[in-house]
Amino acid sequence: MNRKSGISLVIVATAVIIMLTLISVASVVGSNAITSANFDEYISNIRRVADDVNEYYVENKTLPVTSEIVTTSSLSDEFRGEATLNGDLNNKLFVIDVSLLKDSTIKNGTGTVQNQDVYLVAEDTNNVYYMKGFKYKSKTYYGVE
C-alpha cells in the first residue's frame, strides 16, 4: 500500500474541534465582560443622578421632581426589599425630572412610570433608584447598595 503525504482527516477534525472550543470560550468571556461593563455603567448612572439630585437640592432647597409619587406597595418584592435595606420602605418616592439635572449624559429616566423608565428619589434620605432596575447575575438592582 502506498502512503501519500498530506493531512489526514483526523488531524483536520482535531484542529476544527480545537478552534471551535477556543471560539466558544472567547464568546463566553466576551459576553461576561460586556454584561459586567453594562452593570458598571448602570451603577455610574445611578451615582451621577444621585449626585446631581443632591447638588440641585443644595442649590434650590427642593428636589428636582415631577408631581408624580410612586408608592412602594406598587413595586416588586425585590424593589421593596432593596428599599427596606436602605430605610426607604415608608418614604415617598418621587419621580425625578431628569431635564432639571445638569448632566446631559444621562440617557435613562426620561420615560414614564408606566414603562418604568424613570428615576425615583426617596423623600427623607434622597436615595435614588431606577424603577426598571438592572438584572445582573440573577439579581435585579434598583439603586446602589
pLDDT digits (tens, 9 = 90+) for 1-54: 556 656 788 888 888 999 998 988 888 788 788 888 989 999 999 999 999 999
Neighbours of 50 (CB within 10 A): 19
Average pLDDT, the chain: 88
Q: What is the pLDDT, as a whole number, of residue 6?
A: 65
pLDDT reading at 108 higher than 90: no
Cell numbers 415631577 correspond to 66
Has this prediction a pTM greater than 0.85? no
Q: What is the pLDDT, as a whole number, of residue 3?
A: 60
- 101 in Cβ contact with 49 (< 8 Å): yes
Sorting pLDDT into bands at 50, 70 and 90, what band is 106? confident
- 141 in Cβ contact with 82 (< 8 Å): yes
